[in-house]
Amino acid sequence: MIEWAVDGDTLHVTDADNAELTVNGDELVVDDSGVDISRPVDDTIVLTTDELRFPHAVVYAFSLGLEDQYELDPSGDPLTLSPGEYVVDVDTEIKAYLRFSGGATIQKTDDYESIIVSFPDRTRVILGVRCRHEFPAGTITVPDSPSAIAEAVTHMAASHKTDGPDRSYPTLRGHPSLIEHGDSLEVPEYIRSDTPDNGIELVVPPDYESLFTTAPLAYYVQATVRTTEEVLGNRPRSDRTRPRLRLLDHAIEKELSPMPELERDVERLLRKTFFLDCLVRNVGPYGTNLSERSLLDALGLDAEALYHASLQDRLATYLDIPYAAIKHRLPEWHLSTYVTPTYDSVETLPFLLDRLSMIYTPRTSELEGQELVERSLEDFYRGQGPVPGAGAGAGTNPRTGASSGGPIGSYRASTGQVASVDIVKPELRGGRAHGWLADGVPIDVFKSAPEAYHNRLDFLERASDSTSICVVLNDPEMAGEHDDVAEIYRQRSEDLSMDVTVAESLETDALARIFEDDHDFVHYIGHCETSGLRCPDGTLATSSLDRCNAQTFFLNACGSYYEGMQLIEKGIVAGAVTFTKVLNDHAVKVGSTFAKLLVHGFSIERAMGLARRRIMMGKDYAVVGDGTHSLVQGENQLPTTAKLEELDEADGERRYLLTLDCYSTRVTGSYYFPHTDGNEYAHLCGNESSFTLTESALATMLDETAASVIYDGDIYWSKELSRQFER
């Protein structure tokens, strides 16, 4: 769903996922819409101008007459197109295409923040736009039967747009069809007809543990999933506990380990196949100068041949590559979700496959002694100076906030009783982010629920021309955080279409309406008790709400976990909560940092993960619902975090090591290009890149990069930190 509007010389395009594309033109004239552009788009707009400005993007140009392809140099050199017929691919958050006749010059601004497409004269240009998010195509009904679930997983691959290595691009993997419970297996004919049959089979024991674990691999390699019972029948001496990956044309049958070792085998196969696809695709039309690509030569692989090979031929080649030969080059996997493998959980599979999450069986153990405190301190940013976020000097008790000199901080608690949560320790496997769709309340994960994923689809269908944020202050003594976050949201509204409102001392009915109204984000600052959120006239139990229409939230109050989970069940996608009592000054630090990251495009899970590390007891904060969900888009398509370390001086100049970390749980398979002097390479998201910079070069880089920066024991926003290094 795409909407657009013109304001003077500026065209604003928004989609259902709150992504926004702003295009500025010189004396821009909008003539028409709905014109064909020979590209997959949701809408087209005819523009007349001699110059168009886009946000920073990767840009390709295709000559329609000569079938030539050009790429705008990532280092910044302009691209000059001689007169002809062209389609220009501008890879912004909302996909954009330009079709025009004539010559053009495409260049990046000196600060790399914008792309300028200029024409010798005023030119008629067709702008095509496409929402990157796709809705599920239909619904598959399944009974409580492993063989039926196996067939449903087979049809998940119907959403792929290609079986080539380009499927590693997130835009070429659509959202799988939904799954719902029923008495019999029902697969719509249009889903059956779109399901590929590539001669690849994944034969799995007829149990839900094995089916859930292998689903991500089956989905990505587009395998037909069958049960060992169906394939092996009564074959003598056959081991029905061992899954098999079969390539029928090659007569290859690779045996996999039974559970629980199957989890490791699937992880290695999927990571290897996905990674090698990311390297091979670079000889295709959307290739780039990828730093990891040289590994193909070291492995003796012919990228050109593999790119044009059949899926079976390519996968057969990949299977011959030892995992040990590439594991040191693999990006850390972006997402792992721990799911109770039962019939009740099958409805979550399409959402997890859409994010290309690994799926594991949940296992937990009890936290021992002071382990929660110790694990919090391990994650805590430590600098050379005073410990930030501690609220006091040495000798502070991180649980009580007290030292030998007496109390040094006040709890964000009222006189009422605060709900307690029994926290457990999860057995986490590999992954940047971890989701939990099972019983228990573990640390270091976002606690999700099936409702959260369905709620996200509901919000994608709800059109909005701006992001609505409501800040609620229900205790005047906490005005410090209120003032900080309100200012952060207002500043961001200067760059994005954002409507910010503030409310104070809301009574129960008024607070209920806040959650029931169509707000995109509610930031509650106040108290939480066992009976609900504290208001001047009592408490609001979120379980009493009929339906929540707000999209996301932060309940920055003591012990707000249960109220937050109720909000998810009532219609909200995701939110941030606390497990127990929290110190007020800690809450202010977490609240302001979370706000800054959230409105700059970080997912709720990643924003909270970074924010809570500013305080010693960061494990007291958590995310509920779909933690991969983002409220808005940032300046960069992919949220970026940097680590900054001061090095020894060289030739009388201070030097710094800047390490960039760019990834997203939403668009796995993307790459990023660091704009530093002399850099020629792009990097796969999930792999870090490091640069040694002088102080002046660092200041420029930070000013031109929208990123969170971990430096000297705390976290900063790059543009603000850059001022410390300006000379």
Which amino acid, residue 704?
E
3-state secondary structure of 97: strand
pLDDT digits (tens, 9 = 90+) for 640-649: 999 999 998 8
What distance in Å separates the CA atoms of residue 431 and residue 156, rounded to the nearest whole number? Answer: 23
pLDDT digits (tens, 9 = 90+) for 473-511: 998 888 888 888 989 999 888 888 889 999 999 999 999
- For 228, the token pair is 């060992």
What distance in Å separates the CA atoms of residue 29 and residue 505, rounded to the nearest whole number? Answer: 48
3-state secondary structure of 629: coil
Q: How far is CA 147 from CA 132, 181, 463, 528, in A?
A: 33, 14, 39, 47
Mean pLDDT on 524-548: 95
Residues 6+ apart with CB under 8 A from 298: none
- 725 contacts 712 by C-beta, under 8 angstroms: no
pLDDT greater at residue 614 or residue 181: 181
Task: Tell me what the pLDDT averaged over the chain comes to.
Answer: 88
**pLDDT higher than 90, residue 74:** no
Residue with token string 């039309």: 285
User: Among the listed ranges 15-19, 25-29, 294-298, which one has the minimum average pLDDT value?
Assistant: 15-19
Q: What percent of the chain has pLDDT over 70?
A: 92
Q: Containing H/E element for 486? A: helix 479-492
What distance in Å separates the CA atoms of residue 453 and residue 257, rounded to the nearest whole number? Answer: 31
Distance of CA 182 to the CA centre of its chain: 32
pLDDT greater at residue 546 or residue 368: 546
Quick one: the chain helix, strand, coil %, rounded to 5?
Answer: 30, 30, 40
Distance of CA 369 to the CA centre of its chain: 34
Q: What percent of the chain has pLDDT over 90?
A: 65
**Binning pLDDT at 50, 70 and 90, where does residue 406 land?**
very low
pLDDT digits (tens, 9 = 90+) for 232-286: 766 655 677 899 999 999 999 999 999 999 999 999 999 999 999 999 999 988 7
What distance in Å separates the CA atoms of residue 566 and residue 218, rounded to the nearest whole number? Answer: 34
By residue count, the chain amounts to 727
Closest CA to 244 of 231, 233, 235: 231
What is the pTM assigned to this prediction? 0.87
**Binning pLDDT at 50, 70 and 90, where does residue 395 land?**
very low
What distance in Å separates the CA atoms of residue 328 and residue 631, rounded to the nearest whole number? Answer: 34
**pLDDT higher than 80, residue 696:** yes
- For 528, the token pair is 């939480």
pLDDT greater at residue 639 or residue 415: 639
Residue with token string 């003598």: 236
pLDDT greater at residue 253 or residue 384: 253
pLDDT digits (tens, 9 = 90+) for 427-468: 999 999 999 999 999 999 999 999 999 999 998 877 666 889
User: How high is the pLDDT of residue 18?
Assistant: 66
What distance in Å separates the CA atoms of residue 722 and residue 707, rounded to the nearest whole number? Answer: 11
- For 49, the token pair is 């101008």
- 522 contacts 545 by C-beta, under 8 angstroms: no
pLDDT digits (tens, 9 = 90+) for 85-115: 999 999 887 889 999 999 999 999 987 788 9
**pLDDT higher than 70, residue 16:** no
What distance in Å separates the CA atoms of residue 604 and residue 380, rounded to the nearest whole number? Answer: 19
Which amino acid, residue 589?
K
**pLDDT higher than 90, residue 411:** no
Which residues are bridge partners to 86 per DSSP? Answer: 63, 100
Could you give the residue ranges of the DSSP H alpha helices within 281-308? 295-299, 303-308
